[in-house]
Amino acid sequence: MSVSRDDFGIAFRSALLKRGGAQKFSVLSLIFLALLIFFLDVYGTKFTKPVRGLINDIVYRVTFLVSAPTRFVPEVSKDLSSFFNVREENKRLKIEIEKLKSLELNVEFLTDENKNLQKILETEYFNKNLSNIILAKVLVDKNSPFLKSIIINKGTSSGVLKGMPVTKNNYLVGRVVETNYLSSRVLLLNDLNSRIPVTLAQGAQAILSGSGLSNPVLEYLPEDYNLIEDVNVFASGKDGIFNSGTPIGITNENGGVDLFVDPNQLSFVTVNLNLTKKGDF
């Protein structure tokens, strides 16, 4: 069954009457605006095309501006990520450079140490039986105001015994006074407890006594002996410990002996396994 136009008009008016004044105006305004746009789109092509183009341009510009953050944020995120990656890579490269510098210094140290060892070997082993010589590294320097000794990395496992003489560059520096399986303690010539018989170049006999200072002193010289400077001092070998003729130092003006080897500058020494007298020293 169809609905007549009068019935539709009655229903429409009834709907309007049920609404308030503001709502009636809103509905009528929207209807009027829709009809206006419809007629303009159909019959006003010359007028609506420029307006539509202007509206489209405005919409496109606004859309571009609104979408700008969505395009800008990924770029910024990418740049920040690249920046942090470069920063981390820079840190890693700095660490690698420091490691290379450390390795370079280690190589330089080992090279110098090797050169020193070669010099020692050339001096100590020249025209000697190699089986009677042991090369040892100084581990600890026990330096106190009066007691002077060093710890070396050779002990009874290497054949080191108490009392064996210790040299550097063929110069006497002390003797072994304590042994362990893998290490030994060496009493240096300038230790307060050191006493060894020596011979001066002029033939005089004396005792070289440690003073606890840098230079030991000569004691028990002949009564009529006139001590002068620059006289070479050697181990006499009378105690059966030190090899006769081993150089020690040279006399100075104060009645002491300037040692050929500085006791404070020992890195490597040699132990002479030829011990003619065994026992406690």
The CATH number covering residue 159 comes to 2.40.10.340
DSSP 54-83: HHHHHHHHHHHHHHHHHHHHHHHHHHHHHH
How does residue 44 score in pLDDT terms, banded at 50, 70 and 90? low
Q: What's the rounded mean pLDDT across residues 123-138?
A: 68
Q: Which of the pair, 264 or 98, is modelled with greater confidence?
A: 264
Q: Which of the pair, 271 or 82, is modelled with greater confidence?
A: 271
How does residue 141 score in pLDDT terms, banded at 50, 70 and 90? confident
Q: Which of the pair, 238 or 10, is modelled with greater confidence?
A: 238
- Taking all residues of the chain, what is their mean pLDDT, rounded to a whole number? 76
What is the predicted pLDDT for the residue at 51?
65
What is the predicted pLDDT for the residue at 189?
93
Structural domain includes residue 183: yes
How many CA atoms within 13 Å lie on the side-chain side of 53? 5
Distance CA 189, CA 210 (A): 6
Strand 148-152, strand 165-168: pairing: unpaired
Q: Which of the pair, 239 or 268, is modelled with greater confidence?
A: 268
Structural domain includes residue 108: no
Q: Flag the least confident range among 110-124, 168-182, 209-223.
A: 110-124
What type of residue sits at position 20? G
Structural domain includes residue 162: yes
> Structural domain tally of the chain?
1
Say whether pLDDT at 232 is over 60.
yes
Q: Which of the pair, 264 or 56, is modelled with greater confidence?
A: 264
Distance CA 106, CA 238 (A): 45
Say whether pLDDT at 279 is over 50.
no
Q: Which domain holds residue 194?
A: 134-272
Q: What's the rounded mean pLDDT across residues 236-246?
A: 84
The alpha carbon of 177 is separated from its chain's Cα centroid by a whole number of angstroms, namely: 37
Q: What's the rounded mean pLDDT across residues 71-76?
A: 60
Structural domain includes residue 257: yes
Distance CA 112, CA 52 (A): 88
Q: Which of the pair, 34 or 202, is modelled with greater confidence?
A: 202
Say whether pLDDT at 132 is over 90.
no
Say whether pLDDT at 253 is over 90.
no
What type of residue sits at position 156? T
Exposed/middle/buried for residue 114 (C-beta within 10 Å: 0-12, 13-18, 19+): exposed
Over residues 180-197, the pLDDT tens digits come to: 999 999 999 999 999 999
Distance CA 120, CA 130 (A): 13
Tokens of 206: 């004396």
Q: What's the rounded mean pLDDT across residues 26-41?
A: 68
Q: Flag the least confident range among 51-55, 134-138, 183-187, 277-281.
A: 277-281
Structural domain includes residue 193: yes
Say whether pLDDT at 55 is over 70.
no
How does residue 280 score in pLDDT terms, banded at 50, 70 and 90? very low
Percent of the chain with pLDDT over 90: 23
Structural domain includes residue 231: yes
Over residues 149-161, the pLDDT tens digits come to: 999 999 999 999 9
Strand 205-209, strand 195-200: pairing: antiparallel
Say whether pLDDT at 147 is over 70.
yes
Global pTM reads 0.56
Say whether pLDDT at 31 is over 60.
yes
Q: Do 205 and 236 meet the contact criterion of CB atoms below 8 Å apart? A: yes
